[in-house]
Structure 1
Amino acid sequence: MITIYDIAQFTGFSPTTVSKVFNGYSDVSEKTRRKILDAADELGYVPNAHARSLTTKRSWMIGVLFIEPSGAGILHPYFGGVIEGFKQVATSKGYDLMFISKDVGGKRSSYLEHCKIRGIDGVVVVLPDASDPYFQELLESNIPCVLLDQESTVKSTVYSDNAEGVRQAVSYLHSIGHRKIAHIGGGPTFAGEHRLNGYQQAMQELGLTINPQHIVQGSYDYTIESGSRAMEELMKADELPTAIFAAGDNLAVGAMMAMKRRGLRVPEDISLIGFDDIEMAKFLTPALTTVRQNTYVLGSRAADMLIYSIEGGEDVQQGVIPVELVIRDSCRSL
């Protein structure tokens, strides 16, 4: 078995320096660190996790808490990109990931208890549920946490610039002649409320009248079925809109299906814009114009912020990730 002494002999550095690299000490130059890590890869060195934990007083384990009500779990389109970005940064810095639940060893426990039992160094919370008392308990603890799609004064947060994305979408529709713009919302979620506020602000800034019948809330799960139900409700309005901004791509897909059942076409009858830029968006017919949020950057930024906290950083940080409008075929000029 390869040891740090073999790496020291191979590289010419002292065993102490080699040990510092694997234990994450900051007083080693990047050039030296790179040489030692490259040598470790070449020699096939595998660090002893138990020994490293004893040395650093850390478990080198990060908890992943995903509170998502639709039942899609890790198949949720938001989750994959976020966790991939998070994982790339976390593993590159020596951390492993563990999913957190309320059950440990077959017994019911809180998230905080689970973290303590497993010795978790920190937790990334994806789409947190502010109404969950177990989440609030974790939030109030001294365990480092980073929250995605939530606001907090006690823990660091990172989220997409939702309101700006909606402003871009509504401004684009206005620029191609639309004045009767409706909104299918994402319910009382952090993103849903920000996107609704962005829609209202954009309409006001452009001098457009908001028809109350043209704001219909989908449910907080952002599913295709929810979008379909919302569109059925919207089609009961006294006057149909010429364009719709949907707070999520799945909502937009559901709206598109409901319109098709009623004999309406996108974009010939109603133009449509979503939010997220999920994988299927570009394969729809017509391909969906949407606001792209960079889930990979959301995840990688969250990992940087959490590791900063784990390693002693005390500042509560807030990261707002830019978005961009991706124009495809689901909107037409009037």
Structure 2
Amino acid sequence: MTTIYDISKATGFSPTTVSKALNNYPDVSEKTKQIILKKANEMGYIPNSHARILTTKKSWTIGVLFDEKLNVGIKHPFFSAILESFKKNVEMKGYDLLFISKDIGGDKITYLDHCKIRGVDGVLIITSDPNNEQIQELINSDFPCVLVDNESRKASSVHSDDTMGCYLAVKHLYSLGHRKIAHIYGSRDTFAGDLRYIAFLEALKELNLEIRDDYLVDGGYFTYEGGFSAMSKLLELEDLPTAVFAAGDLMAVGAISAIKEKGLRVPEDISIIGYDDLDICRYITPKLTTIKQNTDLIGENAADILINAIDKKNTRTSVIVPVELVIRDSCKSLK
């Protein structure tokens, strides 16, 4: 097996310089680093993980924690897309991922204890309840943490500009001549659900549109079934909305199904706009107009923030990622 001493002999650099280059130390020039890395690759060098930990004082492992009420975890396309981006960016810096649970070997333990046992360098947290006692314990610990699709006064966070996203959705419908706009909102005990609900109402006020309680329907935890059920309630009204803004794409798809089942058409009878820009938006009929969340940028920012925190290069940081309106076929002009 190739060692740093073999690479040292082949390149002419000292073992110390080789070790620093392989561990990305800043006091080694880029030219020297590239020579050493190229030779290490040619010689099939595989770093010893224990030696690397002793040298860098890191485990080179990042914990990933899912604790949310949707009970879908990474099966949800939004979360899986963020995680894929996060994974790609931390792997480029030499880190592995480890999923954090409350169970090791059949023994129930806290998230913080799991992180201590596994010796992770930092934690990516995806949770619908950052005030959860165990989440708070982790946030208040010495482990660098970053929250995704959420906010906290104590931890760094990355989430989309939901306020602007809701305004863009309502403004688009308004520009098409819609004045009777309903909202299928995500459960308000989630960060996104509550923020988008409030932002929707603010957008109506800004455009001097009437706020009707019967046009506000809880779609639950952003599921197809929740959207279908909420839309079914709206379809029972005598005065139907001309347009519906759903706070998630899966709810929007459920709403479209409920409308079709009622014998109505989208967008001819009711326009629908969603939120997320999941892949499914391009394949359903009609193709869904929606607000695009930039999952690549969310994952990239979360990776940068967390790695910088691990390297003690930053303090608490909050990043709000821009969104954009994606116009397809599910909204009709009334003009």
Are 1:128 and 1:148, in contact at CA under 8 Å, matched by a contact in 2?
A: no
Are 1:128 and 1:135, in contact at CA under 8 Å, matched by a contact in 2?
A: no
Tell me which residue corresponds to 2:176: 176
The residue correspondences of 1:42-191 to structure 2 (distance < 5 A) are 42-188=42-188, 189-191=190-192
- 1:95/1:173 Cα in 2 relative to 1: closer, same or farther (>3 Å)? same
**Matched residues, percent identical?**
54
Tell me which residue corresponds to 2:200: 199
Which string of whole-angstrom CA distances, capped at 9 and with x for unpartnered residues, describes residues 8-59 of structure 1?
3444433222211232322223343334333333332211111011122211
Are 2:69 and 2:128, in contact at CA under 8 Å, matched by a contact in 1?
A: no
Are 1:66 and 1:128, in contact at CA under 8 Å, matched by a contact in 2?
A: no
Q: CA deviation at 1:128?
A: 4.2
User: Which SS does the other structure have where 1:272 is aligned?
Assistant: strand
Separation in 2 of the partners of 1:153 and 1:24? 32
Q: Which amino acid aligns with 1:242?
A: T
**Cα root mean square deviation, aligned:** 1.5
Separation in 2 of the partners of 1:39 and 1:139? 41
User: Which SS does the other structure have where 1:124 is aligned?
Assistant: strand
Are 2:182 and 2:216, in contact at CA under 8 Å, matched by a contact in 1?
A: yes
Separation in 2 of the partners of 1:164 and 1:222? 19
Q: Which runs of 5+ in 2 are unaligned?
A: none
Please identify, of 79-88 and 121-130, the stretch whose mean Cα deviation from structure 2 is larger: 121-130
Q: CA deviation at 1:314?
A: 4.3
Which string of whole-angstrom CA distances, capped at 9 and with x for unpartnered residues, describes residues 40-98 of structure 1?
33332211111011122211110000123333232111121111111111111111100
**Corresponding residue pairs, total:** 333
Q: CA deviation at 1:184?
A: 0.5
Separation in 1 of the partners of 2:157 and 2:73? 21
Tell me which residue corresponds to 1:216: 217
Which string of whole-angstrom CA distances, capped at 9 and with x for unpartnered residues, describes residues 113-154 of structure 1?
000011111100023423422112111111110001121122
Separation in 1 of the partners of 2:207 and 2:39? 60
Are 2:186 and 2:219, in contact at CA under 8 Å, matched by a contact in 1?
A: yes
Q: CA deviation at 1:240?
A: 0.8
User: Which SS does the other structure have where 1:290 is aligned?
Assistant: strand
**Is 1:292–2:292 an aligned residue pair?**
yes
Q: CA deviation at 1:231?
A: 0.8
TM superposition score normalised by structure 1? 0.95
**Is 1:26–2:22 an aligned residue pair?**
no
Separation in 2 of the partners of 1:289 and 1:314? 38
User: Which SS does the other structure have where 2:324 is aligned?
Assistant: strand
Which string of whole-angstrom CA distances, capped at 9 and with x for unpartnered residues, describes residues 241-280 of structure 1?
1111100000001111111111111100000000001111
Q: Which amino acid aligns with 2:295?
A: T
Q: Which amino acid aligns with 1:193?
A: D
Q: Which amino acid aligns with 1:287?
A: K
Q: Which amino acid aligns with 2:213?
A: P
Separation in 2 of the partners of 1:207 and 1:12? 74
Separation in 2 of the partners of 1:233 and 1:46? 60
Separation in 1 of the partners of 2:268 and 2:10? 69
TM superposition score normalised by structure 2? 0.95
Separation in 1 of the partners of 2:31 and 2:146? 30
